[in-house]
């Protein structure tokens, strides 16, 4: 149950019944391309505009996750979902056809962590037998929302990240439903993060804005469970990128923890930044969501990894706050995911 100051441990860990990832062409050409369930060659996803494309991608990922788990829509009691866009419009239009009672979430790029945490909390409490966690981003909707028109072809500093076109969907359910949960990874615990504002103001260097929040949540997790980095096979941040990773490792080292060998960042994994010109790495809600479904969960299913701390990171800014000269607070939500037999 309650552990330490901010964490929750699940006595009977909810299981990840099934998951699915859908992504765009560029992500398909990256290092994880072969692991992504559906790589769509048309970044418009057959729709008329970018927002509709992102909605279509959400729907596709959600439906595929259900299909892979042989679960019908009406067997899912609650949906936890979000995206980066103002008023979550990709989610509103992407999930309406699911007809599942829905909690709309905004945690910037940390949304998959927030959604997974609430989905697991809901299942473990007995409020639902199955829940669905969904998070997406799309390069073109994000550029339109936060930066410049695509046709403008603006230059980007090396500290900038590239918003992932992708969506991850995860069905979280109660143990004991038979074959469907064989080898299924378990959500053993969560450490919801708090907002950390270190005064970083450079929206082209979001790794620096988010690293302190990631450090805070990791240290909170260590403290709450009386563990350290040796407890995890991997600590997986969402989208710190190369610069954020360096900051994270430095700050953790100052706190007495060497994460060099076990830290992994979804934003670094998803692209080959040199060949793909993505600078510091990938970002967006879809970055950690796709990497979770395509790369992390399979390694937990196979038993290659026993236990990971999945830690999507979010930079809390809007064009309005940025233009008003505000800083960029960060947030990171930690989810402890274990292989089936990790505890035994």
Site residues for its own copies per CB under 8 A = 1-2, 6, 8, 48-49, 51-52, 77-78, 82, 84-89, 92-93, 95-96, 99-108, 114, 117-118, 121-122, 124-129, 144-145, 191-197, 316-321, 324, 326, 329, 331
Smallest gap from residue 294 Cβ to its own copies (A): 25
Smallest gap from residue 316 Cβ to its own copies (A): 4
Smallest gap from residue 277 Cβ to its own copies (A): 26
The residue to which tokens 């060998």 are assigned: 261
Nearer to its own copies, 8 or 293 (CB): 8
**Distance of alpha carbon 260 from alpha carbon 117, whole angstroms:** 26
Smallest gap from residue 128 Cβ to its own copies (A): 7
Q: Which residues pair with 190 in a beta bridge?
A: 8, 335
Nearer to its own copies, 84 or 243 (CB): 84
Smallest gap from residue 312 Cβ to its own copies (A): 13
**Distance of alpha carbon 299 from alpha carbon 306, whole angstroms:** 9
**Distance of alpha carbon 102 from alpha carbon 81, whole angstroms:** 7
Smallest gap from residue 284 Cβ to its own copies (A): 13
Nearer to its own copies, 166 or 334 (CB): 334
Nearer to its own copies, 274 or 324 (CB): 324
Nearer to its own copies, 129 or 175 (CB): 129
Instruction: Please name which of 189, 76, 178, 55 lies closest in space to residue 129, comparing C-alpha atoms.
Output: 76
Structure tokens at 205: 């260097």
C-beta separation of 73 from 99 below 8 A = yes
**Distance of alpha carbon 289 from alpha carbon 137, whole angstroms:** 9
Nearer to its own copies, 68 or 326 (CB): 326
Smallest gap from residue 89 Cβ to its own copies (A): 4
Cβ-proximal residues to 168 (8 Å cutoff; 6+ apart), any chain: 19, 20, 21, 61, 112, 134, 135, 136, 286, 288, 289, 290, 291, 292, 293, 294
**Distance of alpha carbon 37 from alpha carbon 56, whole angstroms:** 15
| 135 Cα distance to chain centroid | 7
Smallest gap from residue 134 Cβ to its own copies (A): 13
Neighbours of 257 (CB within 10 A): 18
Nearer to its own copies, 100 or 134 (CB): 100
Nearer to its own copies, 197 or 272 (CB): 197
The residue to which tokens 């007995």 are assigned: 126
């Amino acid at each position: 149950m309650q552990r330490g100051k901010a964490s929750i441990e699940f006595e009977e860990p909810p299981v990840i019944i099934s998951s699915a990832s859908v992504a765009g062409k560029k992500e398909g050409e990256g290092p994880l391309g072969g692991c992504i369930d559906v790589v769509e060659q048309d970044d418009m996803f057959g729709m008329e505009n970018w927002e509709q494309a992102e909605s279509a991608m959400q729907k596709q990922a959600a439906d595929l996750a259900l299909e892979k788990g042989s679960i019908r829509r009406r067997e899912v009691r609650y949906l936890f979902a979000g995206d980066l866009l103002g008023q979550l419009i990709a989610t509103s239009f992407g999930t309406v056809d699911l007809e599942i009672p829905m909690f709309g979430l905004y945690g910037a790029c940390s949304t998959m962590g927030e959604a997974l945490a609430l989905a697991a909390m809901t299942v473990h409490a007995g409020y639902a037998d199955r829940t669905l966690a969904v998070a997406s981003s799309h390069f073109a909707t994000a550029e339109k929302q936060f930066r410049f028109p695509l046709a403008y072809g603006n230059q980007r500093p090396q500290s900038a990240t590239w918003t992932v076109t992708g969506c991850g969907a995860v069905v979280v359910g109660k143990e004991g439903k038979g074959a469907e949960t064989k080898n299924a990874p378990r959500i053993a615990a969560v450490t919801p993060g708090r907002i950390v504002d270190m005064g970083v103001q450079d929206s082209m260097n979001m790794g620096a804005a988010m690293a302190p929040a990631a450090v805070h949540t990791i240290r909170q997790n260590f403290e709450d469970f009386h563990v350290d980095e040796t407890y995890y096979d991997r600590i997986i941040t969402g989208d710190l990128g190369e610069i954020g990773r360096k900051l994270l490792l430095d700050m953790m080292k100052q706190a007495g923890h060497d994460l060099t060998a076990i830290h992994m960042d979804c934003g670094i994994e998803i692209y080959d930044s040199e060949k793909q010109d993505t600078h510091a790495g990938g970002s967006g809600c879809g970055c950690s969501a796709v990497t979770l479904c395509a790369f992390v969960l399979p390694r937990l299913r196979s038993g290659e990894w026993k236990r990971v701390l999945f830690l999507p990171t979010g930079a809390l800014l809007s064009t309005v706050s940025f233009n008003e000269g505000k800083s960029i607070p960060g947030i990171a939500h930690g989810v402890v995911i274990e292989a089936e037999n990790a505890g035994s």
